[in-house]
Amino acid sequence: MKLQWNRIVALSATALFAAAAALTALSAVGQMAPKAEPRTVTPRGPLLEQEQQLVGLFESAAPSVAYITTEQVRATGFFTAAVSQGAGSGFVWDTQGHVVTNNHVIAGARRVFVQLDAGDPIEAEPIGFAPQYDLAVVKLKRPPKNLRAIAIGSSKDLRIGQSVVAIGNPFGLQRTLTKGIISALDRELPTEGFREVAGVIQTDAAINPGNSGGPLLDSAGRLIGVNTAIRSASGSSAGVGFAIPVDLVNRTVPSLIARGRAPLPGIGIDPFPPDMVARAGFSGVVIRSVGRGTPAAQAGLRAVDRQTGDLGDVIVAVNGRRVDSVTQFAAELDRVGIDNTAELTVRRDDKERKVRVRVIDLQS
């Protein structure tokens, strides 16, 4: 028994000695290991010319881009309601504090707030709506002294393939820059009342929820469009975004500021609804009535005869561009513009003729 106990003590002493030796060895290794230091930074050198241009463009345009938040009251039951919040983008139009955005960003809002740079949100008052173009204007109640209006470009001379950038606030992430090209031109964007925005710009610059109302800029930093929609099954960017052309914006915004509404181009006819025309097997704009003294009446356009049932005139083209529906017709009149003359191709009794008609503002 004593022999066994001595053996256990001997083994324990051996184990303790081995552990001490191991600790001593590790300590020695630690003392010999070099101290860890950060790696030396390799000098980068100047940015590439293309990068410098993009950085300069962003730094110049970003102060003119707005982050817009809204408060809306939504019914939650027969006698209950809750306040919900929305967000979008916009841009400074002038030094008086007018900010342009999409109509759908602020439609139905109880309160609107605009944040510029890193400052506090400024309350703004909606002063003009153009749902037919999905454009709206709000005015800052306390405009800062250093407001910088965005540079305005032109959309009539754009070319497919040229570079563009979008600045906005996707998913509430402020001042996000995305880059791409013009993928297509002359797209059409449906809005309200059987109308479409003509000349819409298609881009592959990433546009996501929250970019709505923000600027699409050319490589010179000029506004060429207002980002307004994406086409995606997921609701996020799929490389197909759309922007309202700046030439239309530049015609519409001054009217929104001055009168609170946009001109409504027309010629003084009341067309049949598109679904009724389609069910009857027709294409084009079938005239239900012609206003007395309007440009359409002066041009001799004839409506359906309700007594005899004679069809009258059907408008099938505007300035050589085919129109199969009221929507396309309205878009072509938008393209022509107020106080300009449109050449209509009109069919009556299977015969076509050309008719020149002045485009007027139906709301004046």
Is the separation of the CB atoms in 215 and 170 below 8 Å? Answer: no
Q: Which CATH class is domain 265-361?
A: mainly beta
Contacts by residues 143-146 (CB-CB < 8 Å, ≥ 24 positions apart)? 143/95, 143/96, 143/97, 144/116, 144/119
Is the separation of the CB atoms in 200 and 245 below 8 Å? Answer: yes
262-295 pLDDT, tens digit each: 888 999 999 988 778 888 788 889 999 999 999 9
What are the backbone angles phi and psi of residue 362, rounded to the nearest 5°? -70, -15
Residue spans of the chain under pLDDT 70: 1-33, 74-84, 118, 193-194, 231-238
Domain 61-140 matches domain 163-259 at the CATH topology level: yes
> Which pLDDT value is given to residue 83?
63
Two tokens at 152?
A: 């305005």
CATH node for 61-140: 2.40.10.10
CATH node for 163-259: 2.40.10.10
Is the separation of the CB atoms in 321 and 330 below 8 Å? Answer: no
Q: Which residues are catalytic?
A: 104, 134, 212
Q: How many CB atoms lie within 10 A of CB 53?
A: 15
> Which pLDDT value is given to residue 10?
47
- Listed in sequence order, the DSSP H helices in 67-195 are 103-106
Q: How many CB atoms lie within 10 A of CB 253?
A: 24
Q: What Å distances lie between residue 33 and 19, 20, 28, 38, 66, CA to CA?
A: 21, 20, 9, 16, 55
* Domain residue spans of the chain: 61-140, 163-259, 265-361
pTM attached to this predicted model: 0.77
Measured CA to CA, the distance from residue 55 to residue 170 in angstroms comes to 19
> Which pLDDT value is given to residue 277?
81
Is the separation of the CB atoms in 172 and 210 below 8 Å? Answer: yes
